Amino acid sequence: MSEVGRPRNATKADVRIETRNGREVVVKDFGPRSLPVRLLAGRPALRREARVYARLAGIRGIPSCLGLEEPDRLVLERAPGTPLDRLRPGRVPAAVFDDLDRVLREIHARGVAIADLHRSNVLVHGERVHVIDFAIARIARDPARPGWLVRRLQELDRHAAARLRARYLGLPEPRPRGFFGLLYRAGRAIKRLLRRR
């Protein structure tokens, strides 16, 4: 068993790699957290994430979910690759970002918004990617008609992917426009305020 990463705070799951029947899996485990955290944050997040993985089953670039193991643990297929945040700009082929755009289109077509796409949850394997970590993702009841919130979060996903492409390929940073741009800038301002506190 090996640890993938320490949780950023006491409300996050432990994430570790285990070998089961000769196969490596990733285990997201809220077991070590306090009971209130497990009940109010951990279990709902793991159930939601399992539902997201079920909705996205079969998309190339999304690991398989092997299911909830007790209420506090989610077991996933271990996807190959290196997190994008461990790779240097200028060293990642443009095809990686084309594949990320493809994965996003397929995710969005199934009525899902990741809502938290960043470098550490994009794994790069050659010119292919795997997208992981759907802890705060949102799912539309009807994929063909996602509601207002899911559509805005899908815009956020596309903007995050465009920013990653720009950063790693040395392109100008994209600027969000219109109503989405206004929401995006307001959200960033609120995030900065919260970090200061």
Taking only the tens place, the pLDDT of each residue in 79-122 is 999 999 999 999 999 999 999 999 999 999 999 999 999 999 99
Question: Which of 62, 78, 94 represents a domain boundary (last residue)?
Answer: 78
User: Across the chain, what does the average pLDDT equal?
Assistant: 90
**Residue 44 to residue 51: CA distance in whole angstroms:** 11
Same domain for 194 and 117? yes
25 — pLDDT class (breaks 50, 70, 90)? very high
| pTM exceeding 0.85 | yes
Q: List pLDDT tens digits, range 148-157.
A: 999 999 999 9
* Burial class of residue 84, CB neighbours in 10 A (0-12, 13-18, 19+): buried
The answer on pLDDT for 193 being more than 80 is no
Same domain for 109 and 189? yes
Question: Which of 78, 111, 143 represents a domain boundary (last residue)?
Answer: 78
Task: Identify the domain containing residue 32 by its residue range.
Answer: 1-78
Domain count, the chain: 2
